[in-house]
Chain A
Amino acid sequence: MSGPQDVGIRQRARGAPGGRASQAQSPISEPDDDHLAAYRARDGEGWSIEHVLETREASVGIVGVLTLLAFALRFYKINHPDQVVFDEVHFGKFAAHYIQREYYFDVHPPLTKLLFGLAGWFVGFDGTFKFESIGDSYTDAHVPYVGMRALPAMFGSLTIPVVYAIMKESGYSNVIAAFSACLILFDNAHIAQSRLILLDAPLIFFMSLTIYSYIRYRKLRYLEFSPAWWGWLLATGTFMACTWSSKVNGVLTVATIGIAVLIDLWDILDIKKGYSIEYFWKHFVARAVSLIALPITLYLLFFYIHLSVLTYSGPGDTFMSPAFQETLRDNELLMNSQEIRYYDHITIKHKDTKVFLHSHPERYPLKYDDGRISSQGQQVTGYAHDDLNNHWQIIPTKALPETGRGRIVRHEDIIQLLHVNTQTLLLTHDVASPTMPTNEEVTTWPKDDHSRYNDTLFHLRLVDANPGGSWKTKSGHFKLIHVPTKVALWTFPGQLPDWAFNQQEVNGKKEIAEKSTIWYADDILATEDGEVKSADEIGHTEPKKMNFFKKFGELQILMLQHNAGLIASHPYASGPFNWPFLVSGISFWTQNEGQKQIYLTGNLLGWLACTFGVAIFVGILGADLLARRRGVDPIPLPVRNRLWNSTGFFLLVWAVHYFPFYLMGRQLFLHHYLPSHLASALVAGSVLHFVLSETINYPISLRGPSTRPQPPQKADIGMKGPVVVAVFAVFMFGLFVYIAPLTYGTPGLTGEQVNARRLLNTWTLHFAAKKTDHV
């Protein structure tokens, strides 16, 4: 990104090293703005196809045709299949929740799902269909699914003109721009992904718009702080926020722009550019406002809408903290939560494993299999089912008033728990638990025997409670800390042997900060005066208020935790290394009747072209670096600047959207590569241009008041450009049509046809014909 001044100097100094470059420059160094005229004058023929193709009218025509084709390919038979496909299970369901306004939890930010909800609402979906499993019929349930699918299809189609525009704005000719657009246009993976209710098409659309706006903004860098400059900068921020709010992966787009801006700012800071430090801060603040403050505000706004739409209790409740849950209408906590008083009989449940704290008269065996000794006390276990042995009574350790609110159990109280059936008190002590030598055994002790009184004392610590907060059923999550030894009552999904009827082990854990030590009181079964209030009597059903930022913060943390926690293996998950080579796809949907299936896989030809493009480009950069280190300048300066700054930016987009996946432990799928694939299509276009011709359109940035005019150049890729692109597009289209049955899920294929379409033997297609081996 060196300044235009030195470009001029270097060029003049270099003279004319190669015949081609000087040839391209000479006719247009005249003060003639009409490049077409210059070309005609030089070539002597006015209407050769390649020049017609480069006119503005041709550009409009090309983009029109491409867009029409994009819509046609993405909307073709969009009603098929009329069944729930792949992740529509999730995202369709979320749309239904928006319409029903039921709270749900998901790892992705809400923008796209809100749009799906909106689309569903617009086409009259009532939200009663819950997208339970893949293959559920839409037609039977009268779901207007076509309307919902049309949304991503539209986004997917509109991505094509944006890609074209990115290439155009970056200074490539119409033909090259069309080439990059075709790589996306005829790509089976992009099409399959955008025809279904999935988040990726909107994500990719917003991502391409971000790139486009950023390039427009960069081109205005000599007209800094002009209205257009501000406009495109703000647009970059806005689209960046949309990308990020569409799917978690959008963070990578934010990172891309962040890196590009840092490089840009670093250049401004360079003393050789001659800018003052005040000037730098001015630029810095402009970017901070547009690319940090604005996106965050928008991101918050989407969550604000999300939380204001979802005001009813729904399947997402249990993920949230009790305080959060109480803000949801009809929530169970709101309906059933009541304050616990001393001497109440309650059942206690473990939050993570949902077992009741249980005890029964059987005792721990004196000696375990590994030779350790127990106290032979009464067993305390975790038991998953309702049972009389789950009842515990809360015994105070302080004097209580006769009546009134003084009898309520509060945060930080010291209590004893009496097992009602055996009339023994919960106790733990410094004896190793049955299966874990590091943890303390939990047992009980007769209530009349006061010799172990201290060991029966437990500190009731409510989670996130204020001092003096009352303990409530359902909502009052708590930890029970043993007073003398400071261990927390804990259980985990580990079974005890037969002597405890394979129930779950309960023991005292030293790591009291761990979240797995949280329990809650499930229900009050009897009170001192014998009356138990029913749900209706409790009354206060009006949802509570909670600060938006608190809710947002809680939700963000949960989203991050759950995203990192998605590590279960999936049969179609694949590693990032496979993606650029399209080693495997994802089976989205199958139907035995008619042997139909949707299999997410890209257009092999296109993907390989993209990957090849990236590889060549990296090779060019490496060769250029080496050559320059040895004092050789093989590439003319404007061309090198174009390669490093424009194509380099595309490569940055590709790398930032790709390599971080290597660091992720979560399950990964082919569709995570689609944003990178789009970037690699841009790289491939530029590389094709570089291979075809050493000329570029230059300059493409708008001239500022203080910029010196540059002798303009015009790219000339000759006739071979359109020919190569046309031939490639035809082949790509052919391959696209060939594997289209896997993309559209129709028509069905016979076993042999499936086999024939298995272009790589790593693709796991369904309905493949068995190999008929001759014996």
Chain B
Amino acid sequence: MSAGVRVRRAASPPPSLPQAAPRFPNPRHHDHLDADERRAAASRGYVPGRKSHAPGGVNLTSAEWKLLGVVVLIAFGVRLFRLSRPDSVVFDEVHFGKFASKYIKSSYFVDVHPPLAKLLITLAGFLSGYDGNFDFKDIAKVYENVPYVAMRLVPALLGVLTVPISYLTLRALDCRATTALMASLFITFENGMITQSRHILLDSPLIFFTALTVLLWTGFCNEDKHQPFTEGWWTWLALTGLSLGAVVSCKWVGLFTIATIGFGTIKQLWILLGDLRVPPRLWIKHFIARAICLILVPILFYMFMFWIHFAILTGSGDGDGFMSSEFQHTLRGRHMADTYADVAIGSTITIRHVNTQGGYLHSHPHNYPTGSQQQQITLYPHRDSNNDWRIVNGTDHGNPYTDWDVDPISYVNINTRVKLRHISTEKSLHSHDFRPPVSDVDFQQEVSAYGMPNFAGDANDDWIVEIVKGDPKDTESWKRIKTLKTHFRLRHALTGCYLFSHKTKLPDWAYEQQEVTCNKNAVMANSLWYVETSEHPNCKFPENAPRANYKKPGFFKKFLELQQVMWITNAGLTDRHNFDSRPDAWPRIRRGINFWVKDHRQIYLLGNPMVWWLSSAAVFSYIAVRGFLILRAQRGYRDFESTKVVKYDTLCGFLFVGWALHYLPFYLMNRQLFLHHYFPALYFSILLACSVFDLVTSTLRPRVRLQIAAVLLIIAVWNYVYFSPLVYGNPWTKAKCRSAQWFKTWDFSWYVRHSAYLCLC
């Protein structure tokens, strides 16, 4: 007993020893307590004063700031090391580099991703004097006259910035400094994130903005807990909104971030709603503030990005074909001259298909290899003299192909029976009882060009005009065909089928142009046509005859149309890729992605296995423990009354929801998916792993905690070093490469072996 008493007595330091240095040499302000002290203080009934509230609840000591500076320096070193190597195109730089060239040349393109990240990369390229003349054609093509280092710096710097953000986020979430340090170093040494941020790719900006959003949102929540509607409160909220806009303007995956924040907001509002001390008016104020900052601001930001996008891309380019004719009309080089507004018997016209972007009704002097073997009719997207048709009267008893010249002008009305003469080959649009070459079904008929000069043709050349839709402002256009305004169908007079086209390509023999058929069960939308240009030879139209042109679409119309096109293109990306993977493979890094191979060197996207598996383990242990706790609660255990459980449950719950919302929706997607789609979710899971660490070590002494963290970090750094040749494309011995292939599915060494094999040959 007496021994125990003696131990408890405070030992006075032996006077010979020097005074132990204080843990923090600069005494902090009285109210600055770290998490442990704060908790200890709270248990004594001490509440930090209002003065102690740091903006956003990020409460860092000056020593921590210095520490953070060191971490950022390390991150700089790790991510910018030999950024200029390889000096050739890597993986998707093929696309994103190309898009930068197109921005600089302002030639229109369509991509499935929103423009922000691409604009940033372009800006870097532009400022360093890139002229946009490099084509980024193939992976491993050597750069010539491209400031690719400057362009790579954008994602690389954003990648570096992600590191301090993760530190601040965890600190704002009330974790210990050790925990935050561990998270930031885990992210620094995450091979996959490093690889991703060293090239001209969109994922690094995406991760950066996701991380930024989480930080800002956490700050806002802290402010909200402290006191709502202060200046700081509004700032954090508005910044969160802007950052949300930025995430979704990098990639649509950013919508998952919006969902995460939305989830948090709804939870906040729901709790607020249950607080009966909050009057409805105040609640509505809360609601509206969030609606403005978290819905309206991101939308405006997103639209502003597209406004810049359109402002830069004013010229015609290879994305034209995706857009409607009105849209194309706004592009330089696709501008159409005014055309006559009327269509009369004898007019030379071009006819476009309404529903698809297939283009103009077209014929060329090549025959079908199947069916009737007559001349082909297709849809062709570009302007060409082979798109010109003369519309003539089908009921004429004389020679309709010449009579129009002598007869007085008569317009093409509803139910006019017409023939369409292809001007350059002097054949008429014709249909008959043959099956079309591709859509070989019994309700479809082939359409061909048939006839010869000086031959009036037969009744199978006759079509009847059915007007379906006109311009609401122009009653004339409902009664007779007017250029651009009237949507009409062409009914084949003898068989009753409708001229029809759909998104089906003809084979090589028709240059993969779009198929045109005559369909007996035609869907209305696909059998609608309109006249784009009309001209009357021999100046029969008076000089002052009305002219028409496309109405230039405003920004909103262009914006909405592009969104639709992006959505369709995105959904259509269902082809298999050599290195695509399904979501179930991601948390266990079943397989990486081969980015670049040249001269026995390789860049291969692979995570840091230790970090990766630790974070996945954290996620699954959270699920298990939380499930167990729910069961216990149902059986009457009062776990959720402990403040510690509640604190860590809120913290881990938030990060888990972030992980789940950035990961699970991928299961619903049918498009091709890649390992790098997991990175935003990985960010959340790394933070989650560190919070779990915070919880597990919460009863340990700070020194022991630091030691455990150090061991984990050493393993992570060792992993990083071990796989770093794949990150930087450094040379690697064959033996090391083979021994690094821990799993058969990590197929990097295959390339090394394979190329070696080729050399031996």
Contacts and interface: CB of A to CB of B under 8 A. Distances in A.
Contacts of B636: 271-272
B273 A271 contact: no
Given A271-B634, A629-B270, A775 B670 contact: no
Contacts of B406: none
Nearest to B491: A770
Given A629-B273, A631-B276, A663-B668, A270 B634 contact: yes
B303 interface: no
A773 B635 contact: no
A571 B635 contact: no
A630 B634 contact: no
Nearest to B273: A629
A269 B273 contact: no
Given A430-B757, A630-B273, A773-B414, A269 B634 contact: yes
Contacts of A438: 578
B521 interface: yes
Contacts of B479: 775
Interface string A421-437: 00000000010000000
Nearest to A485: B757
Most chain B Cβ neighbours within 10 Å, of A438, A571, A775: A775
A775 B414 contact: yes
Interface in A402-447: 430, 438
Interface in A651-691: 663, 665
Contacts of A631: 276
A277 B578 contact: no
Contacts of A663: 668
A775 B274 contact: no
Contact of A773 (B273, B274, B276, B415): B415
Interface in B445-500: 467, 479
Contact of A269 (B280, B415, B578, B635): B635
Nearest to B637: A271
A44 to B, nearest CB: 45
B277 to A, nearest CB: 11
A560 interface: no
Given A430-B761, A629-B273, A775 B668 contact: no
Nearest to B276: A631
A775 B758 CA distance: 75
Contact of A430 (B280, B467, B634, B758): B758
B600 to A, nearest CB: 17
Contacts of B513: none
B634 A626 contact: no
A266 interface: yes
A266 B758 contact: no
B413 interface: yes
Interface in B544-602: 578
Interface string A625-661: 0100111000000000000000000000000000000
Nearest to A269: B634
Interface in B273-288: 273-274, 276, 280
Interface in A728-775: 773, 775
B527 to A, nearest CB: 14
Contacts of B276: 630-631
Contacts of B273: 626, 629-630
A438 B578 CA distance: 9
Contacts of A266: 634
A270 B635 CA distance: 6
A597 to B, nearest CB: 14
B414 A571 contact: no
B27 to A, nearest CB: 48
Contacts of A277: 635
Nearest to A663: B668
Contacts of B631: 269
B487 to A, nearest CB: 14
Contacts of A269: 631, 634-635
Interface in A538-592: 571
Interface string A442-476: 00000000000000000000000000000000000
Interface in A594-652: 626, 629-631
A605 B758 CA distance: 73
Nearest to B479: A775
Nearest to A274: B636
Most chain A Cβ neighbours within 10 Å, of B280, B467, B634: B634
B496 to A, nearest CB: 10
A629 B280 CA distance: 12
A626 B274 CA distance: 9
B414 A665 contact: no
Contacts of B670: 665
A571 B502 CA distance: 14
B279 to A, nearest CB: 10
A775 B634 contact: no
A271 B413 CA distance: 80
Nearest to B636: A271
A629 B273 CA distance: 6
A629 B274 contact: yes
A773 B479 CA distance: 10
Nearest to B280: A630
Nearest to B578: A438
Contacts of A430: 757-758, 761
Interface in A264-279: 266, 269-272, 277
B635 A271 contact: yes
A272 B635 CA distance: 8
Contact of B521 (A270, A571, A626, A630): A571
A384 B578 CA distance: 29
Contacts of B274: 629-630
A655 to B, nearest CB: 17
Nearest to B632: A271
A630 B521 CA distance: 57
A515 to B, nearest CB: 15
Nearest to A626: B273
Interface in B256-300: 270, 273-274, 276, 280
Contacts of A270: 634
Interface in B388-421: 413-415
A610 B631 CA distance: 38
Contacts of B757: 430
Contacts of B521: 571
B709 to A, nearest CB: 39
Nearest to A665: B670
A638 B413 CA distance: 69
Contacts of A271: 634-636
A144 B578 CA distance: 56
Nearest to A662: B668
Contact of B415 (A626, A665, A775): A775
Nearest to B630: A266
Nearest to B523: A571
A625 to B, nearest CB: 10
A572 B757 CA distance: 55
Contacts of A272: 636
A429 B649 CA distance: 59
A266 B627 CA distance: 13
A269 B632 CA distance: 10
B752 to A, nearest CB: 15
A430 B750 CA distance: 14
A775 B413 contact: yes
Most chain B Cβ neighbours within 10 Å, of A277, A629, A663: A629
Nearest to A628: B274
Given A271-B635, A430-B757, A630-B273, 7 more contacts: A266-B634, A269-B634, A269-B635, A270-B634, A271-B634, A277-B635, A773-B414
21 contacts: A269-B631, A270-B634, A271-B634, A271-B635, A277-B635, A430-B757, A430-B761, A438-B578, A571-B521, A626-B273, A629-B270, A629-B273, A630-B274, A630-B280, A631-B276, A773-B414, A773-B415, A773-B467, A775-B414, A775-B415, A775-B479
By Cβ-Cβ distance, the 10 closest A-B pairs, closest first, are A271-B636, A629-B273, A269-B634, A629-B274, A271-B635, A631-B276, A775-B414, A773-B414, A270-B634, A775-B413
